[in-house]
Copies of this chain bind each other. A is one copy, B any other.
């Protein structure tokens, strides 16, 4: 009998990741807060409602165009709180460092974390440092866990219905291509920068303008396709996407063409995708457009009744195709 082993694809945010989470973790740890399998758990402590989330960052290389593992570790976790409708307040920070890492490198990462935290007005309040022997970890891995205060956002979590609309706050795939490019895995004429950024202000603008957002995610590992597939899994509705509306920059588009990658599955680190109530989409887009992170926001699709549990793409030539969960061809250490 073949030994079952952990594969790289178990960590790519796609089909195998989902099955590992459902079959191993959620099965063992089962409780109402976890079982939702959202980006953050929503918890009640006495009278307060908080969101709680965790992410480990193993990105390779640790410095890449416009960003680095430290910035990613602060913004990535803060974004997981923001998209659950929570104001990011506090972060913990766990470093696992390889013996021999230059102190300058650590200091540069820490400075980047400091600046990112200040930008967001989030506090790093508790931490831990482990050092392991050479060869037992690749340079530095960082875990951040975050606590946010849940906004009183009535529409959030409301039943999603046909004709509700889907928006994305900007171009997709930038982070994924930036990392591949920084690894030297492709030579691009125009360098692609990571979109790593904090989405909180954008989320808060939607909240303060009382936009009826029902669901929101930051489409990181596994990309837009995986986030939307998770939404329709087991649901009584499906999603139709408009291929010609999905924002993508020319360099990302051409890199994807050359590499045979679908940008729908590439990681983003400064974008949100959301479902808004029917009739709210234009207003949501305008509000996003007024924000620098949302200037390329688009209405990219809508909720449909059938086929349920599927994400389908209406292509530019008028056909349709099914956009499934990511399966195969994992891109490890993208975040």
Contact = CB atoms under 8 A, between A and B. Distances in A.
A33 B106 contact: no
A138 B99 CA distance: 13
Nearest to A147: B52
Contact of A125 (B3, B24, B43): B43
A8 interface: yes
A54 B143 CA distance: 9
A268 interface: no
A90 interface: yes
Given A52-B126, A93-B54, A99 B6 contact: yes
A128 interface: yes
A95 B149 CA distance: 25
Given A45-B48, A47-B46, A127 B25 contact: yes
A137 interface: yes
B130 A58 contact: yes
Nearest to A59: B130
A20 B333 contact: no
A97 to B, nearest CB: 5
Contacts of A100: 5-6
A136 to B, nearest CB: 4
Interface in A1-57: 3-12, 17, 20-21, 24-25, 28-29, 31, 33-34, 40-41, 43, 45-48, 50, 52-56
Contact of A132 (B45, B90, B130, B333): B333
Contact of A143 (B94, B113, B135): B94
- Using C-beta atoms within 8 Å of the partner chain, give the interface range for chain A: 35 or more
B5 A90 contact: no
A192 interface: no
Contact of A5 (B94, B102, B136): B102
A7 B111 contact: no
Contacts of A126: 33-34, 40-41, 52-54
A129 interface: yes
Contacts of A55: 94, 128
6 contacts: A8-B131, A10-B97, A29-B127, A53-B126, A58-B136, A137-B141
Interface of A: 3-12, 17, 20-21, 24-25, 28-29, 31, 33-34, 40-41, 43, 45-48, 50, 52-56, 58, 60, 89-90, 92-104, 106-107, 110-111, 113-114, 117, 123-133, 135-138, 141, 143, 145, 147, 149, 332-333
Given A5-B101, A20-B129, A28-B114, 18 more contacts: A5-B100, A6-B97, A6-B100, A8-B131, A11-B97, A25-B129, A28-B113, A34-B126, A43-B89, A45-B48, A52-B125, A54-B126, A54-B143, A58-B130, A58-B137, A136-B137, A145-B145, A147-B147
